[in-house]
Amino acid sequence: MAWMAWTLPTAAFFGIIACLLITFTVLAIKFPETPRTGVLRIETTRGDRLFITLLGSAFINLAWLGLVGANQPYALGVCLVYAFAVFRWV
């Protein structure tokens, strides 16, 4: 794995994604969920909302890098607000 720069932020990113996937798998097994319809008018489950959140957060971070620069902690705050909105209303 010498070809990849395993820095602390890179390892934390992949570790958090792995923990999220494990957590959502355990939740799906322990507390089965019926899909619900939100503001997008499509049926979504927890996993669907997690995917929408991760995809949207990637675009928020890319837009932040292009428009604002490398001050990413503020983009994280925007992503957390976005994640709350997706899990609440989508």
pLDDT digits (tens, 9 = 90+) for 2-31: 677 778 888 888 999 999 999 999 999 999
| Same domain (yes/no): 27, 43 | no
Task: Please check whether residues 42 and 27 belong to one and the same domain.
Answer: no
Same domain, 25 and 51: no
43-67 pLDDT tens trace: 999 999 999 999 999 999 999 999 9
How many contiguous H segments (helices) and E segments (strands) does the chain have?
A: 3, 2
Query: Residue 1 pLDDT > 70, yes or no?
Result: no
Domain match, 16 and 53 both: no
- 20 and 45 both lie in a single domain: no
Q: Are residues 46 and 90 in the same domain?
A: yes
Alpha helices in the chain (DSSP H): 8-30, 46-67, 72-89
37: β partners: 43
Residue 77 belongs to what domain range? 36-90
Same domain, 41 and 63: yes
Number of domains in the chain: 2
